[in-house]
Amino acid sequence: MIPLAEAQERVLAGCGVLAEITAPVDDARGLVTTETVVAPELVPPFDNTAMDGFAVRSADVADAPATLAVEGTIAAGVPPDITVGAGQAARIMTGAVIPPGADAVVMVELTEVSADGAAVTVAQSVPAGNHIRRAGEDLSIGQTVFGPGEVLTPGHLGVLTSLGMYRVRVRPKARVGVMSTGDELVEGPQALELGQIRDSNRHTLLALVAEAGCEPVDLGSMTDDEAEIAAGIRAGVEKCDALLTSGGVSMGDYDYVKKVLDEIGDMSWMQVAIKPAKPLAFGLVDGTPVFGLPGNPVSSMVSFELFARPGLRKMMGHSPGAWHRQPVLGRAAGPLRRRPDGKTHFARVRVEYADGQYQVTSAGGQGSHQLSAMAAADALAVLPDGEGLAIGDPVPLLILR
Ligand code: AMP
Ligand code: MG
Collapsing DSSP states into helix, strand and coil, what is residue 220?
strand
The rounded distance, in Å, linking the Cα atoms of 88 and 84 is: 6
Is the domain of 286 the same as that of 313?
yes
Residue that finishes a domain, picked among 133, 163, 181: 133
| C-beta separation of 316 from 31 below 8 A | yes
What confidence category does residue 362 fall into, taking pLDDT thresholds of 50, 70 and 90?
very high
Cα–Cα nearest to 329, from 301, 351, 302, 305: 351
The two beta strands, 328-332 and 344-354, are: unpaired
Cα–Cα nearest to 244, from 275, 278, 219: 219
- Give residue 276's identity as a one-letter amino acid code: P
Question: 20's torsion region: left (phi>0), alpha (psi -120 to 50) or beta?
Answer: beta
Is the domain of 345 the same as that of 281?
no
Residue that finishes a domain, picked among 150, 171, 192: 171
**pLDDT tens-digit series, residues 191-243:** 999 999 999 999 999 999 999 999 999 999 999 999 999 999 999 999 999 99
Is the domain of 167 the same as that of 26?
yes
The two beta strands, 328-332 and 357-362, are: parallel
Provide the residue range defining the domain that includes 202. Answer: 4-17+173-322
The rounded distance, in Å, linking the Cα atoms of 214 and 197 is: 28
> 297 CB under 6 A from ligand 1?
yes
Question: Angle of helix 226-239 relative to helix 256-264, nearest 10 degrees?
Answer: 50
CA atoms within 13 A on the CB side of 50: 10
- In the prediction, which pLDDT does 234 show? 97
Tell which wins on pLDDT, 365 or 249.
Answer: 365
- In the prediction, which pLDDT does 86 show? 98
**pLDDT tens-digit series, residues 114-144:** 999 999 999 999 999 999 999 999 999 999 9
The rounded distance, in Å, linking the Cα atoms of 180 and 345 is: 25
Question: Relative to the alpha carbon of 225, which ligand is closest?
Answer: 2
The rounded distance, in Å, linking the Cα atoms of 16 and 216 is: 18
> 177 CB under 6 A from ligand 1?
no
| CATH number of domain containing 350 | 2.40.340.10
Nearest residue CA, atom 15 of ligand 1? 295
Domain count, the chain: 4
Is the domain of 53 the same as that of 156?
no
- Ligand 1: which of 296, 302, 371 to mutate, most ligand atoms within 8 Å of CB? 296
Please state the atom number of ligand 1 nearest to the C-alpha of residue 224. Answer: 3
Please state the atom number of ligand 1 nearest to the C-alpha of residue 299. Answer: 8
The CA 302 to ligand 2 mean position distance, Å, reads 18
**pLDDT tens-digit series, residues 304-340:** 999 999 999 999 999 999 999 999 999 999 999 999 9
Is the domain of 53 the same as that of 129?
yes
> 252 CB under 6 A from ligand 1?
yes
Cα–Cα nearest to 11, from 212, 251, 305, 342: 305
pLDDT averaged over the chain?
97
Q: Is the pLDDT of residue 169 over 90?
A: yes
Is the domain of 235 the same as that of 318?
yes
Residue that finishes a domain, picked among 119, 148, 171: 171
- In the prediction, which pLDDT does 252 show? 85
Write the DSSP symbol of residue 315: H
| CATH number of domain containing 155 | 3.90.105.10
**pLDDT tens-digit series, residues 266-298:** 999 999 999 999 999 999 999 999 999 999 999
Is the domain of 12 the same as that of 69?
no
Is the domain of 307 the same as that of 182?
yes
DSSP codes of every residue in 57-81:
-GGGGTTSSEEEEEEEEE-TTS---
The CA 247 to ligand 2 mean position distance, Å, reads 5
Is the domain of 107 the same as that of 225?
no
Is the domain of 302 the same as that of 246?
yes
Is the domain of 305 the same as that of 395?
no
| C-beta separation of 329 from 397 below 8 A | yes
Please classify residue 158 by burial: count the beta carbons closer than 10 Å to its beta carbon, then call 0-12 exposed, 13-18 middle and 19+ buried: exposed
The rounded distance, in Å, linking the Cα atoms of 292 and 232 is: 13
| C-beta separation of 361 from 349 below 8 A | yes
Nearest residue CA, atom 23 of ligand 1? 295
- Ligand 1: which of 179, 187, 198, 201 to mutate, most ligand atoms within 8 Å of CB? 201
Residues 6 or more apart whose Cβ sits within 8 Å of residue 290: 233, 237, 242, 243, 244, 245, 261, 265, 267, 281, 282, 283, 284
Cα–Cα distance list, 214 to 104, 242, 247, 292, 313 (Å): 50, 10, 22, 18, 9
Is the domain of 187 the same as that of 313?
yes
pTM of the model: 0.94
Please classify residue 334 by burial: count the beta carbons closer than 10 Å to its beta carbon, then call 0-12 exposed, 13-18 middle and 19+ buried: middle
The CA 249 to ligand 1 mean position distance, Å, reads 10
Question: Relative to the alpha carbon of 252, which ligand is closest?
Answer: 1
Q: Residue 143: count other Cβ atoms within 10 Å of its Cβ.
A: 13
What confidence category does residue 253 fall into, taking pLDDT thresholds of 50, 70 and 90?
confident
What confidence category does residue 249 fall into, taking pLDDT thresholds of 50, 70 and 90?
confident
Please state the atom number of ligand 1 nearest to the C-alpha of residue 221. Answer: 19
The rounded distance, in Å, linking the Cα atoms of 130 and 194 is: 78
The CA 83 to ligand 1 mean position distance, Å, reads 77
DSSP codes of every residue in 29-51:
TT-BB-S-EE-SS-BSSS-EESS
| CATH number of domain containing 76 | 2.170.190.11
The CA 181 to ligand 1 mean position distance, Å, reads 8
| CATH number of domain containing 254 | 3.40.980.10
Nearest residue CA, atom 6 of ligand 1? 295
**Widest Cα–Cα separation across the chain:** 95
Residues 6 or more apart whose Cβ sits within 8 Å of residue 121: 65, 66, 67, 68, 111, 112, 113, 114
Nearest residue CA, atom 17 of ligand 1? 295
Q: Is the pLDDT of residue 167 over 90?
A: yes
**What is the separation, in whole angstroms, between the first and last Cα of the chain?**
30
> 344 CB under 6 A from ligand 1?
no
> 283 CB under 6 A from ligand 1?
no
The CA 207 to ligand 1 mean position distance, Å, reads 18
The CA 9 to ligand 1 mean position distance, Å, reads 26
Residues less than 5 Å from ion ligand 2, measured at CB: 182, 247-248
- In the prediction, which pLDDT does 254 show? 86
